[in-house]
């Protein structure tokens, strides 16, 4: 009984850790995508302001 409980506990902890890693990867993907869009928008606006001057 003790061995099964230990394996079950380890499995639960492993799945919690995997969920945390997955969440971090999703956050990194989203923020990188937003960062790219922000840089592109800033570049376009800077170019437009230079051509307007």
Residue 17 belongs to some domain of the structure:
no
Instruction: Give dist(CA 50, CA 53) in Å, integer.
Output: 5
Residue 43 within any structural domain of the chain = yes
With bands split at pLDDT 50, 70 and 90, how would you rate the model's confidence at 1?
Answer: low
Residues 9, 22: Cα–Cα separation, whole Å? 20
Residue 2, pLDDT > 80, answer no
In a domain, 12, yes or no: no
* 11 domain-assigned: no
CA angle 45, 47, 53 (to 5 degrees): 100
Q: Is residue 35 part of a domain?
A: yes
Please tell me the distance from the alpha carbon of residue 6 to that of residue 27, in angstroms, as a whole number.
Answer: 32
Give the pLDDT confidence of 3-52 residue by residue, as tens digits: 778 888 888 889 988 999 899 998 888 888 777 777 778 888 888 777 87
Domain that holds residue 33: 26-53
Residue 21 domain-assigned (yes or no): no
Within a domain: 20: no
Q: pTM (2 decimals)?
A: 0.54
- Alpha-carbon gap, residue 41 to 34, rounded angstroms: 10
Asked if residue 8 is part of any domain, the answer here is: no
Domain count within the chain: 1
């Amino acid at each position: 009984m003790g061995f099964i409980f230990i394996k079950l506990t380890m499995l639960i902890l492993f799945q919690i850790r995997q969920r945390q890693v997955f969440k971090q990867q999703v956050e990194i993907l989203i923020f990188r995508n937003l960062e790219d869009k922000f840089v592109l928008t800033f570049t376009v606006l800077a170019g437009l302001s230079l051509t307007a001057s």
